Chain A
């Protein structure tokens, strides 16, 4: 069953590449996403048997990430089909510089989407660290063409930076994995298999200096992919230039997969009693990421870049949560879900705004509430949610982390965390409110009717964000506890 989760999207991707008919290919994309989500949900009822001698298995953490990925993918697919249909109709002139450009072949775009899903699923279910590495690198390769969907020089630049920076980062993570092999060797020189389970049970005689070096490399390597500052430089470019549906997947699904790489290292660190070291690193990188995000969100004129920096901020929050340990880890794992749902919704809404206003400059957008009533409301909802206002999901998880920081006596961390959250909230609220209110400019007068899915999909995500703030289902709470348990 686990193998199916990877083979189905991968083979659908190969088929999609060769299907000529747009209609058939879109049906294939949607049905693959539906089957994938159904299978992922089924794994919550029947625990799937490990495959490939235990290399592929679902633990609580992997299952959470895997299910979240497939649900977001399903949402993104419904949006993407409507989006691709609209893209077919228009001529493409650049919003910023006015030149004409073409899109990549829709078949390649669809195929890459499906490969991307397969690679992310492999990250989530692989228990073998080297295999996890292979999968993370595969996500980079599958998603780079998604960023270069609009064929023009800015998206090309973004895709190039993404490819190079992430590949270099990931190469360092591979070195980290090799260091881990050295750190985990038995005293007699025989090595322990690179399975998370074996490494954890053998963690008591880890070689501490080698493990620390390995952890730093893994944190830098996967942290690059996850968008932790100061290795986040690819992220705003990629998120702002990719089509919104790809940005939603990058932010909502991909960053979590990279985070999982760090969490696997943290699991071993906790089991080996080296959490004091790794916690401190996570805290520092987390707070630095939040600080960098606050600096770049202030005065940001491009609303897609603003959302991208907000992702850097939230990745920082996740690192802080895990670094604090205890109840904050629960908050961090919960925040993975809340951030993913909220940010995916915001990027999809940003895509709607972009299609109508044809500008990414927030100063040139006004009156979204009257031009696009649904998207306008969702934009405001998303803004309040992502900045941590009650009653939405992110408030709950951010508050859990804050409370844990105070309970642990980490007053300094709590103060910095709270200050940065406040700064970011203020910096995001002003432009986003101005975009929603006011009267629309004359150039948006002629509105073609847009597909229903473009507003329904983000609306459903918005409802999910609200529900997560009011009621976390017990089955989810149990899974979150189990996932947080191994992380200290």
Chain B
């Protein structure tokens, strides 16, 4: 089981790099979709031996929502906004990958520093979770397209969720569903906003959203 968990975590880190290095939005959406499925499998494999109906159903529904429903919404938003690529991110792809590598280093160090009791099942769990969150933040800060920023938000959220599984968190099912619902509605509303942005501006580059700002006088 530990091998399964570890290979899931390695794949999770790889999807993070995929998100950082790809200029094609469809590849980025796929990376997020894979993350969603991986997290579902991770949550199920973390509770071997004591599988309960709720313990399987919830990760499964989460995997379906994050792996299929949200990507479908995002693909639709992509088609409606008529964009395929993230052109000219604020920091280049090479630099993004270097930032990703640095984030991985920071996550490993943090995972080593923070002592959990009891020890998590795999020493990679906490670093992988932090790394995924950090990738999300890098993407939000360094990309121009509204759609890519939503993907960054989802990666951040996935990292937080992964940390939840790492500390073997058993949240009541109502809360888990509430969190999932919030993420779903959030992406849904953001998708609608992207649609409006593309109609209003003929593009979804958020750095052109600059009518509102204050300068120190």
Contacts and interface: CB of A to CB of B under 8 A. Distances in A.
Interface of A: 128, 130-131, 133-134, 137-138, 140-141, 144-145, 148, 151-154, 156-161, 163-164, 167-168, 171, 174-175, 178, 181-182, 185, 187, 189, 191, 194, 209-210, 213, 236-237, 240-241, 295-296, 298-300, 305
Contact of B117 (A168, A189, A213, A305): A189
Given A141-B182, A191-B170, A160 B153 contact: no
Given A178-B160, A178-B164, A130 B179 contact: yes
Contacts of A174: 157, 160, 179
Contacts of B182: 134, 137-138, 141
B197 A160 contact: yes
Given A134-B182, A153-B200, A210-B114, 20 more contacts: A128-B172, A133-B179, A134-B175, A134-B179, A137-B186, A151-B196, A161-B212, A164-B140, A164-B150, A167-B190, A168-B156, A171-B156, A178-B167, A189-B117, A194-B171, A296-B214, A296-B216, A298-B217, A299-B217, A305-B214
B118 interface: yes
B169 A131 contact: no
Contacts of A213: 114
A168 B140 contact: yes
Contacts of A167: 153, 186, 190
A362 to B, nearest CB: 14
Contacts of B89: none
A347 B150 CA distance: 31
- Which among A131, A158, A240, A298 has the highest number of chain B CB atoms within 10 Å? A131
Interface string B176-200: 0011011001100110010011001
Range, interface on chain B: 35 or more
A153 B201 contact: yes
A144 B189 contact: yes
Contact of B212 (A163, A241, A299): A241
B157 A163 contact: no
B146 interface: yes
B176 to A, nearest CB: 9
Nearest to B117: A189
A131 to B, nearest CB: 6
Nearest to A154: B211
B116 interface: yes
B90 to A, nearest CB: 15
B131 interface: no
A185 B117 contact: yes
B212 A158 contact: yes
B17 interface: no
- Which among A157, A185, A299 has the highest number of chain B CB atoms within 10 Å? A157
B124 to A, nearest CB: 17
B178 A141 contact: no
B212 A156 contact: no
Contact of B160 (A161, A175, A181): A175
Contacts of A160: 146, 193, 197, 206, 209
Contact of B197 (A156, A191, A194): A156
B139 to A, nearest CB: 11
Contacts of B150: 164
A160 B190 CA distance: 8
B167 A189 contact: no
B133 interface: yes
B209 A161 contact: yes
B201 A163 contact: no
A154 B156 contact: no
Contacts of A168: 137, 140, 153, 156
Contact of A159 (B117, B153, B169, B193): B193
27 contacts: A130-B178, A134-B181, A140-B186, A141-B185, A141-B189, A153-B200, A154-B211, A154-B212, A157-B209, A157-B210, A157-B211, A161-B209, A161-B212, A163-B186, A164-B190, A167-B186, A171-B133, A171-B157, A174-B179, A182-B167, A191-B170, A213-B114, A237-B212, A240-B212, A241-B212, A296-B216, A300-B214
A141 B189 CA distance: 7
A163 B212 CA distance: 15
Contacts of A137: 182, 186
A208 to B, nearest CB: 12
Interface in B127-183: 133, 137, 140, 146, 149-150, 153, 156-157, 160, 163-164, 167, 169-172, 174-175, 178-179, 181-182
B193 A171 contact: no
B140 A189 contact: no
B190 A181 contact: no
Contacts of A194: 171
B37 to A, nearest CB: 20
- Which among A161, A167, A168, A241 has the highest number of chain B CB atoms within 10 Å? A167
Contacts of A154: 211-212
Nearest to A300: B214
A100 to B, nearest CB: 13
B163 A178 contact: yes
Nearest to B204: A160
Given A154-B211, A160-B193, A164-B140, A182 B116 contact: yes
A128 B172 CA distance: 10
B205 to A, nearest CB: 12
Contacts of A138: 182, 185
Contacts of A209: 114
Contacts of A299: 217
Contacts of A237: 212
